[in-house]
Amino acid sequence: MIKVGNCIDLMSEIADCSVDSVVTDPPYELGFMGKSWDATGIAYNIKVWQECLRVLKPGGHLLAFGGSRTYHRLACAIEDAGFEIRDQIMWVYGSGFPKSLNISKAIDKAAGVKGEIIGYSKGVGVSVKDNQFGGINRGAVGIKQVSIDVPIVAPATAEAKQWEGWGTALKPAHEPIVMARKPSENNSSDKTNCLMVRFVYCSKASTSERNAGLKDLPKKKADTRSDIAAGMWKDKNAPHQNFHPTVKPVNLMRSLIKFVTPVNGVVLDPFLGSGTTAVAAIHENIDWIGFEMNPEYATIAERRVEHASF
């Protein structure tokens, strides 16, 4: 079941102690691409997690994704709402490169000089077809990743040589997940905390996976600068039916749902996005409830759910 609206209001319609788990991917509150939805403070709003606590059965678990720079505030809000913080699960992925300033190159650029090319390394580029007007058709069929030679440039100035190899950011390679539990009635810690997994390795969602079941929907360009940095899109300018910028892979969500949801249980996602939690629950034959504020994303989720159900 998908409902569109504010998750706090919608959760108020759910009975106390009626869901078995909460698995969700709230905004990371990073102000992603200047988007207001990622800077509302909703993930830090204790009322959200108090409602999750209320609807969860005693001993039920909550899993919530957080950003590597903002996770601590999310975890504090969940704890302040009354949850027990039981552990942290780490989603680790191998793709991605840092959105980092190369200090050495920046120094040479400021000095107005270019260093000598001393070799080449292998990288990944995008191959596209020319259109009939002689330009590049970014949405062309046949777009694919290709191996390219990336020039290795030696620093030219003494200052640049001093700072060679230095940058301003780490490679994005993980996203932490809060694992919390609603206290059980007898406050026992040995009956429901059966999850021992703290590390999950899973690739980013592929284009075919995120667009499955959406062929008849109009395409739209996604906000993809952050996704490109993590290797999520093959062509940053190509429109997609599923233009949600932070789609999680289905296999990852399947694993998380199985970790904390009993057989014949119900999983709740108050931040459903484009519906991956619902799709994963369907594959696991688990009942689900999802709320999403954005009607466009809710439509995408509905179509993905329809596709997964057949």
Digit-coded pLDDT (tens) for 136-161: 333 333 444 566 777 888 889 999 88
Structure confidence at residue 194 (pLDDT): 42
Please report, for residues 52, 129, 252, 281, 308, the alpha-carbon distance to residue 277 in angstroms, rounded to integers and kept in the order given: 16, 36, 9, 6, 11
Looking at per-residue confidence, does 234 or 219 come out higher? Answer: 219
Q: For residue range 75-119, what is the model confidence (pLDDT) as tens digits?
A: 999 999 999 999 999 988 766 555 677 888 889 899 999 888 888
Instruction: Supply the pLDDT for residue 123.
Output: 60
At residue 248, the pLDDT reads 87
68-72, 73-77, 195-199: range with highest mean pLDDT: 73-77
| 295 CB neighbour count, 10 Å cutoff | 10
Q: Is the CB of residue 1 less than 8 Å from the CB of residue 292?
A: no
Tell me: pLDDT of 20 over 60: yes
Block residue for tokens 């970014």: 138
Q: What is the mean pLDDT of the chain?
A: 79
41 is written with which tokens? Answer: 């403070």
Q: How far apart (Å, rounded) are the C-alpha atoms in residues 283 and 196? A: 23
Contact between residue 306 and residue 213 where contact means Cβ atoms under 8 Å apart:
yes
Q: Which among 24, 63, 27, 57 is positioned nearest to 197, based on CA atoms? A: 63
CATH of 2-95+171-308, one of 3.40.50.150, 3.40.50.720, 1.10.940.10, 3.40.50.2300: 3.40.50.150
**Residues recorded for the chain:** 310
Q: Does residue 46 contact residue 81 with C-beta atoms inside 8 Å?
A: yes
In the predicted model, what is the mean pLDDT of residues 14-43? 80
CA atoms of 23 and 270, how far apart (whole Å)? 8
Q: Say whether pLDDT at 35 is over 60.
A: no
Identify the three-state secondary structure at position 242: coil
Higher per-residue pLDDT: 209 or 294: 294
Q: What local confidence, expressed as pLDDT, does residue 75 receive?
A: 96
Domain(s) of CATH 3.40.50.150: residues in the chain: 2-95+171-308
How high is the pLDDT of residue 239? 62
